[in-house]
Structure 1
Amino acid sequence: MAEEMTGGCQCGRVRYAVRIADDEAYLCHCRMCQRATGGVSIAFKNVGRADVRWEREPERYASSPIAVRAFCRECGTPLTYEAHGHDRMDLTIGSFDAPDRFYPTEHSGCESWHKAWLDTSDLPASRTDENPSLVKRWMDTLGRLPD
């Protein structure tokens, strides 16, 4: 059964609600996505265009001859990948308010993946609240740690 989820950009200027039918998502490693996000891959949730309701329309740019990408002009958050002529689109997992709901079921654009970045679970890990200098900067500036 479909349920509504919400999301938006980092600064909160662009917000959306979307009807989600399942928890499946995917990772795209193509060079276009790498360049558009500055990352080695991006996590997407494929949804019906008609299932997305924008509180404020994001800006869009033609990232290639076959698609546009939506983003917030104020903070730069990447929000979508929208292929021309399709009734479906991709929303970035990181823009959802509850991104932990989703799990990856496939890789796309694997001709450009960086295998060293696929499984990093054996690397040392630390929490933001365990970094004293970072905690101090946030507390001095905001009075709390960010969400």
Structure 2
Amino acid sequence: MGGQAVTTPVHAYTGGCQCGAVRFSVTRLGRPSICHCRMCQKAFGGFFGPLVTAHNARWTRGEPKWFQSSNAARRAFCGDCGTPLAYETRFGLELAIGAFDDPTVAAPVIQVNLTDRLPFFHDLTALPERTDAPDEWRDFLAGIHSNQHPDHDTDDWPPRGGSNG
């Protein structure tokens, strides 16, 4: 190739917070998991913390705020909207699966810290599903305009002109 270096584009997985103030990119993912520990439950405000090991991750817009959640771990979140973004220990960085633009790239393959798993967790998929919605609810949903950052990188945010896509 005439002495010129050839670079192969590296596929990057991207994501970020709800408001778009903090964005990330990562080129290699490790093991996706759901963690049932009480700290993850509180950090995510949910029944578990969905996380994936991230190699070669970098913040591409803004910087998260960090909370030292224990003597061994710290957690990253957006200081503007509060979205949980990451968990870090001496073993490395893990990113919140739900913060990815395409969360399906990191389908969990293992559950960890089972001693804190909530007793009703196994029954969740057996709950009744509501497939119909009252007219009032459909009207309410139809009138919503999302202010969340779209599921792709943008040159700037918030967009000029009031469109968020």
Tell me if TM exceeds 0.5. Answer: yes
Task: Look up the match of 1:113.
Answer: 117
Q: Please tell me whether residue 13 in structure 1 is matched to residue 21 in structure 2.
A: yes
Task: Please report the TM-score for the alignment, with normalisation by the length of structure 1.
Answer: 0.81
Q: Is the 8 A contact 2:29 2:53 kept in 1?
A: no
Q: How does 1:1-147 map to 2 (within 5 A)?
A: 3-21=11-29, 24-48=31-55, 51-55=56-60, 56-83=62-89, 85-86=90-91, 88-126=92-130, 130=133, 132-142=135-145
Question: Secondary structure in 1 aligned to 2:51?
Answer: strand
Bigger share in strand: 1
RMSD: 2.5
- Alpha-carbon deviation of 1:15? 0.6
- Alpha-carbon deviation of 1:46? 0.7
User: What 5-or-longer segments of structure 2 have no aligned partner?
Assistant: 1-9, 151-165
- Alpha-carbon deviation of 1:138? 3.7
Rg larger in 1 or in 2?
2
Output the amino acid matched with 1:123.
L
Q: How many residues in Structure 1 have an aligned counterpart in Structure 2?
A: 138
Percent identity of the aligned residues? 36
Q: Is the 8 A contact 2:24 2:58 kept in 1?
A: yes
Task: Please report the TM-score for the alignment, with normalisation by the length of structure 2.
Answer: 0.73
Distance in 1, matches of 2:19 and 2:102, equals 16
- Alpha-carbon deviation of 1:71? 0.2
- Alpha-carbon deviation of 1:16? 0.6
Output the amino acid matched with 1:52.
A
Bigger share in helix: 1
- Alpha-carbon deviation of 1:115? 3.9
1:125–1:105: structure 2 CA closer, same or farther, 3 Å change rule? same
